[in-house]
Structure 1
């Protein structure tokens, strides 16, 4: 194995061992700093020579199918990495800088050992989301910042539901983050003419019960997702938003009419990951959820403020509850 491949393997294996969700490369004049994102926090891992980084960048571009000679435009690629216990899909993204490029790698486990129940801290919230999945038409949104577990939760929910009932499920993703056997997964590829719009038209001919749109990133995708929900199908998607209330504001900013939201939006679940502890030791991360549905959702869409009669559990309330039960440390509660 050549030195660059060895450096890559050591780096990837270390990041996985430390339960990192991302690797960030920051190139400077003579060196490159490497950071891991662990439990949502960015931690400096090491520093390598700039020449080593340039060789590593070329290596990653080559094995992920990027254009090695292109450094002026952002590029994306994916590779597979297997450890002794798990398979990981790595999503690579380059960003042009002055005279060089930065690189970010998202680490996506493909053979997760955690059950659906382990992904969520409070079982009642999981049960509520399962109830939403019984709808046969409309749109359900999982929201939160990068790395909050939106896509992981969405995949896990889909897998759980499909074990219980046989639904024709089609996903439109850019990129596909986890390969699943019992779902038809479509890789959106703008260059090849496979857009969200063309993908939807093709998907509808396959008589789907459930359509999953990987992520709503812009106005066009938002419009597309809501139009899909009006075709008599259940649509699931993710969106970047700070909290549940902020999701409605994001949709308004993206040009979605409040009347369309009232007609199509079934519910919103905003996720926040908490590092759990048992006897003072960190065990795993689990999600708490701000949930919007029913009358509360309708009032939020209409812009009405919360009242004392509304039963809405904010992240602050849920963190306080988690701390009271001894699930999280005082430091995590106040962070």
Structure 2
């Protein structure tokens, strides 16, 4: 084992032992600072020399299939990793900064099975989302910032539904974050010509009941997802937006008309992760949802709903409920 590999093992083992979701490398002139994110909080891990980071970065770029000589453009890669018999995918991303490159690593556990009951704070919200899955066709969207649990929720939802009934399910992901049994998972690879658009076209020929699109990023992907939902398929996807009205605005900015949205959109659920008051020393987070469906969804599509703050399905109301039930602190209720 070379020095870079040994250093990598030490950093990864420490981060995983502390239940970190991300590792961030900040390069400076003479040293590189390493941070980890635990339960949403950014914490200092350690500092290494610039030469150590250079060797480490080269090792990561080589093992993840990146171009070692390319330092001017952002790059992405995946590494399979194992610690104490547990399997992980490491999603790597580089970013050019000040004649150097920073590195971010997302740690994706492959053995960790999270049920929907473990993810959501309130059972009735889980039941509502599961009821959307009874539709034969249409679009279900989950929104929220990076790290809010959108993809984790999609995976858990698909696994739950497939256990109850056999569905032909195809996912299009960039990257595939977790391998799931009984699902056809397609890795988007633009260099190889497999884009979200081309992948969706091919997936439709495989007679799917359910299609999961990892993320709606642009007008083309949005249009294909909606067309798939209009042709008799149930489509699930994620989109970056801070709340449900913002999700509708983003879709309309991507060129989807009000009539498109009314025909195909089943519901929108924005996710917010809250730190739960610990019953032990272990810190935990759970999700609350801001839900748009039915009349509220119609109002949002028509531009008649800029906020749902006063509604019982809003983040504000759900945080208040969580505080009253003793799940979260007053500071959490006020600060989010």
2-side partners of 1:86 and 1:327: how far apart? 31
Q: RMSD of aligned C-alpha atoms? A: 1.7
| Maintained 8 Å contact 2:245/2:305 | no
Residue in 2 that maps onto 1:257: 257
Q: Does 1:66 align with 2:63?
A: no
Query: Cα deviation per residue 1:211-243 (whole Å; 9 max; x = unaligned)?
Result: 000011122222221122122100000011101
TM-score by length of structure 2 reads 0.95
Q: Which segment is superposed worse, 239-248 or 77-86?
A: 77-86
2-side partners of 1:133 and 1:298: how far apart? 19
| Maintained 8 Å contact 1:32/1:53 | yes
| Maintained 8 Å contact 1:26/1:102 | yes
Residue in 2 that maps onto 1:208: 208
Report the secondary structure of 1:20's partner residue: coil
Count of residues in correspondence between the two structures:
334
1-side partners of 2:216 and 2:314: how far apart? 23
Residue in 2 that maps onto 1:82: 82
Q: Does 1:57 align with 2:57?
A: yes
Residue in 1 that maps onto 2:149: 149
2-side partners of 1:193 and 1:305: how far apart? 40
Query: Cα deviation per residue 1:59-118 (whole Å; 9 max; x = unaligned)?
Result: 101111111111122111001122226321111011122321111111111111432201
- 1:116-265 map, 5 Å: 116-265=116-265
| Maintained 8 Å contact 2:39/2:284 | no
What is the deviation of 1:305? 3.4
What is the deviation of 1:284? 1.9
2-side partners of 1:225 and 1:307: how far apart? 26
| Maintained 8 Å contact 2:274/2:285 | yes
TM-score by length of structure 1 reads 0.95
| Maintained 8 Å contact 1:139/1:267 | yes
Report the secondary structure of 2:21's partner residue: strand
2-side partners of 1:95 and 1:206: how far apart? 37
Stretches (4+) displaced over 3 A: 278-283, 305-308
2-side partners of 1:307 and 1:34: how far apart? 39
What is the deviation of 1:307? 10
What is the deviation of 1:2? 2.1
Any stretches of 5+ residues in structure 1 without a counterpart? none
Any stretches of 5+ residues in structure 2 without a counterpart? none
| Maintained 8 Å contact 1:22/1:37 | yes
